[in-house]
Every structure is written in structure tokens, then in C-alpha cells.
Copies of this chain bind each other. A is one copy, B any other.
Amino acid sequence: MDKKQKKPVTLADIAAIAAVTPMTVSRVINNSGYVHADTRARVLGVAREMNYRRNGLARGLKRQCTETVGLVIGDIANPFAAELSGGVREVLEERGYTVFICISEHTAKEDVQAFDSLADHRADGIIVATRASKSANERLAELIESGIPISLIGRDFRHPHADLVMADNLKGGYEATCHLIDNGHKRIGFIGVSLTDGVRLRRFQGYLEALKDNGLPVEDRLIVGGREVGEQMPGYSTEEMGYDGMMKLLELKSRPTAVFARNDFTAMGALNAIKRAGLRIPEDIALVGYDDIPLALHTSPTLTTVRQPTREQGRCAAEFLLRRIEGDHEQPRAEKTFDCELIVRESTLPGAEVVSGSNRKRKIKTA
């Protein structure tokens, strides 16, 4: 009687014991159709006793939907990913969907793998928040073509039948850089990208444009930390890139008076390199980060940074996806760009906003 692998309980098993047909059990489990109260109670009792769990495979197969959505992110271990997935989950779980997360640490191969897994397992839709790449984009296009609802977050890829949500990082980078220029800086470094592969990083483009619009030259030596250091590295360790990059900038005979880091972790690394060199922030070197991670408020000095409404982007992408799942899968693209916000703190302006630990709004209110 004791087989090695015990078989899961099925509707038929319950039906046999409760002396009804599987269909009736199904009706009880799903609370649909008419079932007599007595019958319902009896069936429910048996189901509970036998520890029944419905079979999502069979269910999905028959109903042609799984009530499941996939979220593809790189770089977990990053407040950004956490906020994003939080927003996505908020919206979807309220509507009865389960969110499964697939991680692709920023390689195109893993991206494609993640898409395929989700498509194969018939997720009702996919939200993609990884960086674009040629091969992954092609596969994405195939999936869209074959009718799977897809919603993109901050991904540089457009398709007539995939929704798109992003933050205006170009403007964010532009404003951060302008802020430094406004404070009198003329030699501003950038950490976290190389000139050649930086064309895709919008915040870097914003940096370049701000320099140009203000008649400042772009100096190659002031741009450090490109691919060789870690285009592929997990995000939470980009602070190493910031530390190393800053060290390089400090070794220049004429070093920059201000630095813009690609994200707050990178900025944090730079910050510590500056302090270790015995220099003051912002008097000797001003510093701007990007993302406004919680920690940015608790460094000393506190970090000037650019905040993007991450949670809202997640919510929005989820809402777009829902509309597509529950409506026409091939409806025209919805697109929304969120504005970023420059948060000025002590690392660029002595005596700027200093906020103690807990009086900081954490959740963006529901729309």
C-alpha cells in the first residue's frame, strides 16, 4: 500500500468517497454552479480530510489560463527590484494572480531562458524589467507575436503590442548634472560606464547633454568604470565599481570637483574612496548618486540623488498587463513615462535636507 511516491489526491478520489461525481466536487471547490448545502459540506469535509490541493496544471490546461504572471528582473538585492516587484505584486495579487519571479543576472541568455520558462509554463503574461539585448529582444518579439501579453519596464525596446513603462532617466541625469553645474562645477566626472557602451544608459546621456548645453567639454578621462569593471556584475556590488572608479579619478593630476555616479551603490563606493583619501564632501568633491536608496539618507554626508517612482512603475506595468490579459492581447501599445525627482542633500550642498530615520514616506499612495 505504501508506494514510494504517494500520488496526490484528485477530484475523482474525493468524489468516490463522498459518493458524488468529480464534477460536483469541482463545483464545490470552485464555488460555482448549484450544490446542495449538505453535499457541499460533505465534499468539503472529505477534501479537507484528504488534504486536497487542486492541480493547477490540469486546471490551466482546461481553462486556458493559469492566473499566473511572470516577472523577469536582474539584480535582485537592490532596493529598486524590491520596490518594483512590490508594486507589481500589489496590483496583481489583489486581482487573484500569482507572481512568479525569474532572475536573469543581465545576460541575454538568461533573459531568453526566463522568457521561455514562463511561456512554456503558460504564464498569462510577462513583465520584463531587465536591460535590453538583441537576442532577448528577438525572442520577446516572437512571444508577443504568438499572443502572450507583455509589459516592459525601463527597457529600451518598443513593440506595437507590448506596453512600456519607464522613468525619464535622461532628464534625471540631465538635472543632476545641471545641479552640479549650477553650483559652479566645471569638471564633472561620471562613474559607472565607458564612453563606448554608455550610449544606452539614459542617465549618462543626460550627463553628456547637460555638459554640451552648458558649453562644457566632455573629457574622456573623467568617465570611468566601464564594461571591463563590471557591466555584468550584480548591482549590489557596484559600489566596488564606485570605489575603484573614484580611486582612478583621484589619481588624475587635475581631478574633477564633482562626480555623478550611475547609482547610489556606486556613489557609496565613491564616497568612501573620497573620505579615505582625506578629502571633504562636498567642499573638495561634490557627489551625486541615482535611485535614492534608503541608505542614501544615512550616509555622512547624506547623498544627493535622483529618485524615480519605482513602486509606481511596477504598479503601472501590472495595470497595463492586466488590461492586455483581460482584453485584447494585441491592443495597441500603452506607454507611460514617469518623472524623476532630484533630491538635494549634503553631498552637494552643505547643510541641505537632513532627515532623521523614520519621518520619510515609504509608500507612494495608491492612485
Interface residues of A (CB under 8 A from B): 4-6, 8-9, 51, 53-58, 60-61, 66, 68, 76-83, 85-86, 89, 93, 98-103, 105, 113, 116-117, 119-122, 142-143, 145-147, 234, 236-237, 239-241, 243-244, 247, 265, 268-269, 272-273, 275-276, 293-295, 298-300, 328-329, 356-358, 360, 362
Query: Do B77 and A357 have beta carbons less than 8 Å apart?
Result: no
Pick the contact of A265: B8, B54, B295, B362 (CB < 8 A). Answer: B295
When C-beta atoms are compared, the residue in chain B nearest to A295 turns out to be B239
Query: Do A61 and B55 have beta carbons less than 8 Å apart?
Result: yes
A116 to B143 CA separation, bound complex (whole angstroms): 28
A-B contact pairs, 21 of them (CB 8 A): A5-B329, A53-B116, A53-B120, A53-B146, A55-B61, A57-B58, A57-B61, A76-B76, A76-B101, A85-B103, A98-B117, A101-B103, A236-B293, A237-B362, A239-B295, A240-B358, A243-B357, A265-B295, A268-B295, A269-B298, A275-B300
- Contact flag A357-B6 (CB < 8 Å), given A102-B100, A142-B51, A295-B268: no
A99 to B114 CA separation, bound complex (whole angstroms): 9
Copies in the complex: 2
A46 to B315 CA separation, bound complex (whole angstroms): 39
Query: Do A51 and B239 have beta carbons less than 8 Å apart?
Result: no
- Contact flag A244-B358 (CB < 8 Å), given A51-B142, A295-B268, A298-B269: yes
Query: Do B146 and A294 have beta carbons less than 8 Å apart?
Result: no
When C-beta atoms are compared, the residue in chain B nearest to A265 turns out to be B295
Query: Do A247 and B61 have beta carbons less than 8 Å apart?
Result: no
Cβ–Cβ < 8 Å partners of A358 in chain B: 240, 244
Query: Do A79 and B236 have beta carbons less than 8 Å apart?
Result: yes
When C-beta atoms are compared, the residue in chain B nearest to A302 turns out to be B272
A241 to B89 CA separation, bound complex (whole angstroms): 25
Cβ–Cβ < 8 Å partners of A240 in chain B: 294, 298, 357-358, 360
- The winner among A9, A53, A99, A360 for most chain B CB atoms within 10 A is A53
Query: Do A4 and B328 have beta carbons less than 8 Å apart?
Result: yes
Query: Do B9 and A239 have beta carbons less than 8 Å apart?
Result: no
A57 to B273 CA separation, bound complex (whole angstroms): 52
Query: Do A122 and B55 have beta carbons less than 8 Å apart?
Result: yes
Pick the contact of A121: B68, B143, B244 (CB < 8 A). Answer: B68
